[in-house]
Amino acid sequence: MSIAIHVENLSKSYSIAHQRANREESLRVAIERSVRSIGARMLGRNGKQIALPPGEANESREDFYALNNISFEVKSGERVGIIGANGAGKSTLLKILSRITEPSHGRITIRGRVSSLLEVGTGFHPELTGRENIYLNGAILGMPRSEIRKKFDEIVAFSEVERFLDTPVKHYSSGMYVRLAFSVSAHLDPEVLILDEVLAVGDARFQRKCMNKMRRFSEEGRTVLFVSHSAPAISQFCSSAIFLEKGQIKRKGPAQEVVEEYMLQSTTGIEESGPELVGKCLLEEPAGDDHVQIEAIELLSPDFGGAGTVPINEPVSIRLAFRVLKRSDHVFVPNLHIRTIDGMYVTVVTPSSSDVRPLDAGDYTADCVVPANLLNNGTFTVQAAITSFNHGQTVHANVPNALTFEVVDDLSDTTYRNGYMQAIPGVVRPRLEWHIGASA
Amino acid sequence: MSTADNVTYLESGRAAKDYWRDFWRHRELLMFLIWRDIIVRYKQTVVGTSWVLVRPFLTMLVFTFVFGKVANLASGNVPYSLVVFTGLLPWFFFANALSDCSGSLIGNSHLISKIYFPRLIVPVGSVSVSVVDFLITFVLLFLVMVWHRFMPSWHIVFIPVFILLAIVVAFGLGLWTAALNVRYRDFRHLIPFVLQLGVYVSPVGYSSQILPAKWRLLYSLNPMTAVIEGFRWSILGGEFVIYWPGLLVSSVMGITLVLTGVWYFRKTESTFADVI
């Protein structure tokens, strides 16, 4: 298999002091300095230093390496992901590969026609209509006019904005705008495609459509270089990956392995300044209507120190304390909404129908036991609510973000690890039943 | 950077051996950028493209009144409005071209930081748009001449030479200021100021004949002087004669500006995306 992209000892340095000076540098300062340096050279021959005003004299140029001696190869037809935290040098690498800026050292060889998409809709003009922007954007991305004309109908169909083709794009919704912009890009015909996180646009359905388009694209034997800090996107889409850290390659190899290492690093980083854990939530003002009010939500984990920390291999109870104000025929159903710290729903849990009934006025508690080894290690939030469904659906009380707790795996129980001691991805980590035996 | 057999090499300071071939390959982009600038400019305006004509026309009326009637400057047997208009036409082109061109790279920074193309396309496109406007204003000149029943002399065949000179001067200065503007934003303030003064320093509202002869050469160091004089000579003829040393100075200056401008532009081009 031939090599599509060959990067040898690539470095890119910015001189920080210089850069900062440039931004604010006025012409006067620049002229003054150059006159002074000419003067210094004429007067202070033989290396004698001329005193410069303080501040300027010690304005040393500190070189900052955005990329430091990077080498890698991409075979043609490969889908390679580049992953790394902010400031790792991903964007710089992309900019160099797409010829927007020059490398400081090193050399890159790219075989084949290159298209790079650092942004969706580069050069879109808000005053122009959708039709006009397709042509303009196509030209900016390097498509000949004849080719745009040939693919025009296809582009329009893909974007799903047929009806608004002759409306200026400034009147488009942001979704329409992005769809149209992506559609033009998706109909490029390069041999090497360089992509920034442009896939992270549009609604979920359109994103899937784009992903599929890109996958087909590489199945046609074209090379894709995809930069993202989204680990799932890289592990789904790419065959191999490169993990950049502080301008250097930390690891390269099969996408799954590289992404795992990246995840491990990024989660260890979070621990230092993680979210505040809340193991007990006593409401000063009870939340609820004139039927029922929530008074407190708390985590019952007696054997474990640290508020809001739960060992993965211990069951944990969540207690909801509430007060019924008057007897009615509403059947109060306490419910807990468990989410990951990123806001993704894990589940909503309620008691069984046989456990709920109309209650007399008074104070009550509802305990919910989350079994051991259900949630994976990570941080979760709990929203508590009381709802009744027998007179239409009524939410009587609701406490969002009542608890924040962390499930930790201290590796004291390694029965299901088989010697693998690193992070295990996922939201849940149940211990499922397995049957292993010789096949008949 | 170079491309051969579809292989691209990227290296620090690699001489762009086929820069001009690359430029030629991007000619469609150039056309699209010109087309974009032309149609976008007068969107959501009522009189649209007529703005190209309205501005010089109103300026002509004011200048004719101020210089011709109030100051009562002489214009021989030619209507004063024609003297003003033959000066305004190239001046308006020069002022528009220079101010658009100097801001062109900054105005297109979203393209420059996101996509590769020979950056020279941007100032070339910007000056081209001004040239289109320039040619449109000739329609107005024609109407003013018809109004005064004025028959131009045979010198009019030389008008393309002076149009070209105006373009060369404006493009040369525009290239320098566009590239410098990326790093030193001072030019954003300097250019409007220079153009504001320039309209009085150049012989726009009056004929340079009224100046003492000993100041003539110094006066011609302004490259637009020869352009405006050339316009008057080609269109009005008669007592408007060409001052040859001035024309020479202007031509040499214009060509030098373009050559050094291209040199400076290409030298700094690779850092535009980092600095802009």
pLDDT digits (tens, 9 = 90+) for A216-261: 877 888 888 888 877 777 877 788 899 988 888 888 888 878 887 8
Binned at pLDDT 50, 70 and 90, residue A50 comes out as very low
The shortest CB-CB distance from B11 to any of A103, A123, A136 is to A103
Is residue A339 over pLDDT 60?
yes
- Whether residue B112 and residue A100 make contact (CB cut-off 8 A), yes or no, is yes
CB interface of A with B, residues 234-273, below 8 Å: none
Rounded distance between C-alpha atoms, residue A254 and residue A238, angstroms: 9
Rounded distance between C-alpha atoms, residue A133 and residue A124, angstroms: 6
Closest CA to A265 of A275, A250, A254, A277: A250
CB interface of A with B, residues 152-191, below 8 Å: 168, 191
Per-residue pLDDT at A177: 85
Per-residue pLDDT at A16: 67
Instruction: Give contacts of B39 with chain A, Cβ < 8 Å.
Output: 128, 132
Instruction: Give contacts of A145 with chain B, Cβ < 8 Å.
Output: 28
CB under 8 Å to B166, separation ≥6 — which residues? Answer: B90, B93, B94, B134, B224, B227
Is residue B100 over pLDDT 60?
yes
Per-residue pLDDT at A199: 61
* Radius of gyration for the alpha carbons in chain B, expressed in angstroms and rounded: 20
Q: What is the nearest CA distance from A168 to chain B, expressed in angstroms?
A: 10
Binned at pLDDT 50, 70 and 90, residue A17 comes out as low
Per-residue pLDDT at A388: 92
Instruction: Give contacts of B14 with chain A, Cβ < 8 Å.
Output: 102
Binned at pLDDT 50, 70 and 90, residue A307 comes out as confident
CA distances from B12 to A91, B1, B83 (A): 18, 8, 54
B104 or A269, which is more confident?
B104
Rounded distance between C-alpha atoms, residue B217 and residue A207, angstroms: 68
Q: Which residue of A10, A28, A71, A99 is the best one to mutate when testing the B interface, meaning the one whose CB has the most B CBs within 10 A?
A: A99
Rounded distance between C-alpha atoms, residue A130 and residue B3, angstroms: 33
Q: Which residue of B8, B35, B45 is the best one to mutate when testing the A interface, meaning the one whose CB has the most A CBs within 10 A?
A: B8
Instruction: Give contacts of B44 with chain A, Cβ < 8 Å.
Output: 127
Among A124-133, A213-222, A286-295, A424-433, whose mean pLDDT is lowest?
Answer: A213-222
Per-residue pLDDT at B80: 86
Task: Give the pLDDT mean for A71-88.
Answer: 87
Closest CA to A26 of B188, B269, B266, B175: B188
Rounded distance between C-alpha atoms, residue B242 and residue B237, angstroms: 10
Per-residue pLDDT at A274: 62
Highest mean pLDDT among A302-316, B115-129, B233-247: B115-129
Q: What is the nearest CA distance from A30 to chain B, expressed in angstroms?
A: 9
Binned at pLDDT 50, 70 and 90, residue A322 comes out as very high
Rounded distance between C-alpha atoms, residue A358 and residue A203, angstroms: 43
Q: What is the pTM of this model?
A: 0.70
Is residue A265 over pLDDT 80?
no
Instruction: Give contacts of A116 with chain B, Cβ < 8 Å.
Output: 115-116
CA distances from A395 to A298, A324, A379, A387, B126 (A): 20, 14, 26, 4, 62
Q: What is the nearest CA distance from A86 to chain B, expressed in angstroms?
A: 18
Q: What is the nearest CA distance from B186 to chain A, expressed in angstroms?
A: 7
Q: Which residue of A12, A94, A127 is the best one to mutate when testing the B interface, meaning the one whose CB has the most B CBs within 10 A?
A: A127
Q: How far is CA B271 from the centre of its chain?
A: 26
CB interface of A with B, residues 99-128, below 8 Å: 99-114, 116, 118-119, 122-123, 125, 127-128
Chain A CA closest to residue B33: A136
Rounded distance between C-alpha atoms, residue A260 and residue A265, angstroms: 9
Q: How far is CA B61 from the centre of its chain?
A: 22
Q: What are phi and psi of A278, to 5 degrees?
A: -125, 110
Instruction: Give contacts of A28 with chain B, Cβ < 8 Å.
Output: 186
Binned at pLDDT 50, 70 and 90, residue A40 comes out as low
- Whether residue A128 and residue B28 make contact (CB cut-off 8 A), yes or no, is no
Read off the amino acid at residue A263: M
Is residue A57 over pLDDT 60?
no
Q: Which residue of A101, A133, A146, A149 is the best one to mutate when testing the B interface, meaning the one whose CB has the most B CBs within 10 A?
A: A101
Among A15-19, B82-86, B239-243, whose mean pLDDT is lowest?
Answer: A15-19
The shortest CB-CB distance from B28 to any of A19, A100, A144 is to A144
DSSP category for residue A54 = T
Query: How many CB contacts within 8 angstroms connect chain A with chain B?
Result: 108
Among A215-219, A302-306, B91-95, whose mean pLDDT is lowest?
Answer: A302-306
pLDDT in tens, A58-69: 455 677 888 888
Is residue A190 over pLDDT 90?
no
- Whether residue A108 and residue B9 make contact (CB cut-off 8 A), yes or no, is yes
Chain B CA closest to residue A139: B29
* Radius of gyration for the alpha carbons in chain A, expressed in angstroms and rounded: 30
Within a 13 Å sphere around the CA of A379, how many CA atoms are in the beta-carbon half? 18
Residue A358, both tokens: 């109309």
| Secondary structure of residue A67 in the 3-state scheme | strand
Per-residue pLDDT at B102: 93
- Whether residue A112 and residue B274 make contact (CB cut-off 8 A), yes or no, is no
Helix/strand/coil percentages in chain A, nearest 5: 30, 35, 40
Place of tokens 């079994």: A371
CB under 8 Å to A302, separation ≥6 — which residues? Answer: none
Helix/strand/coil percentages in chain B, nearest 5: 75, 5, 25
Binned at pLDDT 50, 70 and 90, residue A384 comes out as very high
Highest mean pLDDT among A188-197, A270-279, B251-260: B251-260
Residue A260, both tokens: 């795992």
Binned at pLDDT 50, 70 and 90, residue A336 comes out as very high
Within a 13 Å sphere around the CA of A183, how many CA atoms are in the beta-carbon half? 25
Mean pLDDT, chain B, integer: 87
Read off the amino acid at residue A323: R
Q: What is the nearest CA distance from A74 to chain B, expressed in angstroms?
A: 14
CB atoms within 10 A of CB A232: 11
Query: Is-contact B220 B249, C-beta < 8 A?
Result: yes
Task: Give the pLDDT mean for A31-43.
Answer: 68
A211 or A153, which is more confident?
A153
Task: Give the pLDDT mean for A11-21.
Answer: 67
- Whether residue A105 and residue B13 make contact (CB cut-off 8 A), yes or no, is no
A332 or B73, which is more confident?
A332
In angstroms, the first-to-last Cα distance of chain B is 21
pLDDT in tens, A109-152: 888 888 888 877 788 888 889 999 999 998 888 888 888 999 99
Closest CA to A79 of A249, A257, A236: A236
Rounded distance between C-alpha atoms, residue A139 and residue A123, angstroms: 10
Rounded distance between C-alpha atoms, residue A210 and residue A336, angstroms: 36
Per-residue pLDDT at B211: 81
DSSP category for residue A48 = P
- Whether residue B114 and residue A107 make contact (CB cut-off 8 A), yes or no, is no
CB under 8 Å to A196, separation ≥6 — which residues? Answer: A91, A94, A117, A118, A119, A227
Rounded distance between C-alpha atoms, residue A60 and residue A56, angstroms: 8
Residue A159, both tokens: 């974007």
Task: Give the pLDDT mean for A397-422.
Answer: 86
- Whether residue B40 and residue A125 make contact (CB cut-off 8 A), yes or no, is yes
Binned at pLDDT 50, 70 and 90, residue B185 comes out as confident
Binned at pLDDT 50, 70 and 90, residue B4 comes out as very low
Rounded distance between C-alpha atoms, residue B22 and residue A341, angstroms: 51
Per-residue pLDDT at A385: 93
Instruction: Give contacts of B115 with chain A, Cβ < 8 Å.
Output: 98, 100, 116, 118, 122-123, 140-141
Per-residue pLDDT at B162: 93
Per-residue pLDDT at A61: 62
Q: What is the nearest CA distance from A194 to chain B, expressed in angstroms?
A: 11
Per-residue pLDDT at A26: 67
Is residue A438 over pLDDT 70?
yes
Is residue B178 over pLDDT 70?
yes
Rounded distance between C-alpha atoms, residue A103 and residue A11, angstroms: 6
- One DSSP character per residue, B18-81 reads THHHHHHHTHHHHHHHHHHHHHHHTTT-SSGGGHHHHHHHHHHHHHIIIIIIIS----TTS-HH
Q: What are phi and psi of A288, to 5 degrees?
A: 160, 180
Among A306-315, A424-433, B54-63, B191-200, whose mean pLDDT is lowest?
Answer: A306-315
